[in-house]
Amino acid sequence: MERTVRRENLLKRLEGLTEFEKAVLLATFEIPRGKVSTYKRIAERVGRPKAYRAVGNALHKNPIPPTIPCHRVVRSDGGFGGEKKSAEARMRLLMEEGVKIVKGRVKLTDDILF
């Protein structure tokens, strides 16, 4: 029940964004601590499987990080997109959550992917 209330509050904070951007941000909100997803998996989850680049653009517009944990979305190879400073910050957040990073990439395994 609490999750539903939070979701409704999130929708209010996402006013002004497109329906696609809202869908991406809400799907990202569902990723639990210590798990990750990929831009492609989020695109598939919102019903636009080829729109993984647009997912990245939508995440860039995230008005309420870390409430919507966009740091938990990585490239399909486990790498971090975006600017170096921003990528390093996201990597640190994931390491704090217990996500295994090997040579600058998330070690993508079935137990960590959401």
Q: Helix/strand/coil (H, E, C) string of 25-94?
A: HHHHHCCCCCCEEEHHHHHHHCCCCCCHHHHHHHHHCCCCCCCCCHHHEECCCCCCCCCHHHHHHHHHHH
The domain in which residue 82 lies consists of 2-106
User: Dmax over Cα atoms in the chain, in whole Å?
Assistant: 40
Which of 58, 70, 73, 91 is flagged as catalytic?
70
Is 97 one of the annotated active-site residues of the chain? no
What tokens appear for 65 in the block? 């990080």
One-letter amino acid for residue 68 of the chain? I
CATH number at residue 44: 1.10.10.10
pLDDT confidence of residue 4: 57
In a domain, 17, yes or no: yes
Give yes or no for residue 13 having a pLDDT over 70. yes
pLDDT confidence of residue 1: 44
Q: What is the pLDDT of residues 34-91, one digit of tens each?
A: 999 999 999 999 999 999 999 999 999 999 998 999 999 999 999 998 788 989 999 9
Cα–Cα–Cα angle for 16, 17, 19, rounded to 5 degrees: 125
Structural contact between residues 55 and 12, judged by C-beta atoms closer than 8 angstroms: no
Q: What total number of domains does the chain contain? A: 1
